[in-house]
Amino acid sequence: MEITVIDDALQVEQFQGWLSTHATQVVGRAGMCFLSPLATWISERTGCLCGTDDLFYGRAAVANCSWHLLPQWAVRFNARLERIAFCPVTGLEALQELAHIKTTIVFTQAA
């Protein structure tokens, strides 16, 4: 069974908007496959429990060898959160990390 994802489900702007609406709430725990902020958002978007792991995302009920590639911004976001692994993350804290990632990507593309 394949994961059902809306075409724009993994757009950084959509994730940013979701984080903004949850700025004061805990949106996940850093470094946890099924509880990370990104996994929580994907789960909400798809209507099923999903996880993220390094380069991939997918449904909990599907073997991770069938998971899909994450976009580069999402890989960098998850990697950045690894430094505070297992800690609760609010929407605002995630937005701050995302802002750093977006700045890095823009700077890299401009070079």
Q: Give the H/E segment covering residue 59.
A: strand 56-59
Quick: pLDDT tens for 28-72.
999 999 999 999 999 999 999 999 998 999 999 999 889 999 999
Percent of the chain topping pLDDT 70: 85
Both structure tokens of 110: 């401009």
Domain residue ranges in the chain: 12-110
Strand partners, 50: 59
Ramachandran quadrant class, 47 (left: phi over 0; alpha: psi -120 to 50; beta: rest)? left
pTM assigned to the model = 0.83
Give me the DSSP letters along 74-110: HHHHHHHHGGGTT-EEEHHHHHHHHHHHHHHHHHHHH
